Structure 1
């Protein structure tokens, strides 16, 4: 951790909503005139799409489970930890982007499923902001979480997470429902062993819970709307959290435990703004 070069990481699995939460952080950075070095977790995948497909096919032909992007084998965990350590010490590092879809690929002049070249982070940034799968991983000699000053989990209940992933991957990324189901099944072991343990290390968790039936996520015609969900916000350390202020500002909210605030789903953005702004200002010395 570094007071001079702080790191904020938003971590969650594919389809959990980390990108949506990231947009709220962008608003805070712009409003407070903070220059953030933004890093996407997908940039630390070890293989491009064609290579990953080949490794999966080879494994399945041999009767083994193929690698998944949730797991250690398919990611440069050591390089991600080195980035966090280096940025915390010196405010420097390198990043690239994984090109998910045709639109991004055309802009970059590269094939979909490939990576842009590594490039240095912008100079003189106020903080590093990571959004991806592995911001709080601690496993097999890798301890990424120890470098993070503010670790935020985004954790829908699993059926909602699958619905969100299905709709994104079929409607935006062009995959079939069957292909998405296969990915979910292949990732399950890594989900349990690598992704889930991170949420016991987060400083704050945001868990979106639907109040409509999501019992069969594979036939859901649409993602539950914000007004059809509640958000459970758990603080690892509730000391210093002004719960009366938050309850007053977030109409319809209530406390379910001494460290847990529940807010209507439509209030997620304002809840993020109210909760995160003081943390960010403290980390960057602007409080």
Structure 2
């Protein structure tokens, strides 16, 4: 953690909606004049797409679990090192994983490959990470300890799967059967390396649909925001002005002493109201340290 160079993480599983939440952060940064260096979680995968296929085949022969959720398929030590570098100096390195033709074309590369490592810009106010493993913590690596504000995005699992199936079939060209196989193959690593992160996060945003999602593998549509509620859990509710939030977000209510529930369509508003003061507080502390 660093008072001079703070780090914010949005972490969640594939299909959880972290990219959508990033849009809210972008809006806050733009409105409040905050300059953010950006790191994408996919940059810290260990293998290109072709390499991953070979590594998975070898793991299957050896009766080992291997998926994009597991430590062996990711560079968590490298991620922790880059977080530490930013906290100490205000700069670190990152790269991009090119998912498809449109992302790869500007670089003259094939989809499923990485760009070269580059330095983040100079004179940024904070580092913002969005991806799978921003709060990863094992016996050998602790990414979470470098982070100043940790946000979890955790729709209930059937909704998460529906969102992943629709995204990967429509935007990334995979078949429904291939996406379903991926979900099932990742379950062991999901339980052991994704879920434990949400005990580390400061705030969790969990979307809960109020329509039937009992069979996510045949769902024709993603439940809309209006067909959902969002459960917002604070790890430490001290200092959270719940009466203010309840007054500002219609139809919201508290379900526990550290939990507020808001209509799904008000999730962006809730995030703006909750996160803006937290980001501004990080900036106040940073300015005080820089004097």
**What secondary structure sits across from 2:116 in the alignment?**
coil
**What secondary structure sits across from 1:34 in the alignment?**
coil
- Quote the residue 1:149 is aligned against: 148
Correspondence 1:224 to 2:246: no
- Quote the residue 1:78 is aligned against: 77
Structure 2: gaps spanning 5 or more residues? none
Q: Equivalents in 2 of 1:34, 1:110: separation in Å? A: 32
Q: Equivalents in 1 of 2:90, 2:228: separation in Å? A: 39
- Quote the residue 1:89 is aligned against: 88
Q: Equivalents in 2 of 1:74, 1:58: separation in Å? A: 13
Alpha-carbon displacement from aligned partner over 1:50-90 (angstroms, at most 9, x marks no partner): 10011122333x26255111010000000000011111111
- Quote the residue 1:43 is aligned against: 43
Alignment of 1:113-124 (within 5 A): 113-124=112-123
Q: Equivalents in 2 of 1:103, 1:275: separation in Å? A: 35
Alignment of 1:27-176 (within 5 A): 27-60=27-60, 62=61, 64-65=63-64, 67-176=66-175
Q: Equivalents in 1 of 2:112, 2:64: separation in Å? A: 21
Check the 8 A contact 1:65/1:186 in 2, yes or no.
no
What is the CA-CA distance between 1:177 and the residue it aligns to? 1.0
Q: Equivalents in 1 of 2:101, 2:179: separation in Å? A: 18
Aligned pairs, number: 286
**What secondary structure sits across from 1:151 in the alignment?**
strand
Q: Equivalents in 1 of 2:140, 2:52: separation in Å? A: 24
Q: Equivalents in 1 of 2:282, 2:43: separation in Å? A: 25
What is the CA-CA distance between 1:260 and the residue it aligns to? 0.2
- Quote the residue 2:5 is aligned against: 5
**TM-score, normalised via structure 1 length:** 0.98
Alpha-carbon displacement from aligned partner over 1:20-58 (angstroms, at most 9, x marks no partner): 001000000000111100000000000000100111223
Flag as ranges the 4+ runs of structure 1 deviating above 6 A: none
**TM-score, normalised via structure 2 length:** 0.96
Alpha-carbon displacement from aligned partner over 1:162-211 (angstroms, at most 9, x marks no partner): 00000000010000111111111111111101110010110000000000
Q: Equivalents in 2 of 1:159, 1:131: separation in Å? A: 22
Q: Over aligned residues, Cα RMSD in angstroms?
A: 1.2
Q: Equivalents in 1 of 2:242, 2:145: separation in Å? A: 27
- Quote the residue 1:284 is aligned against: 283
Alpha-carbon displacement from aligned partner over 1:99-135 (angstroms, at most 9, x marks no partner): 1111111122211010111000100000000001111
Structure 1: gaps spanning 5 or more residues? none
Q: Equivalents in 2 of 1:108, 1:273: separation in Å? A: 35
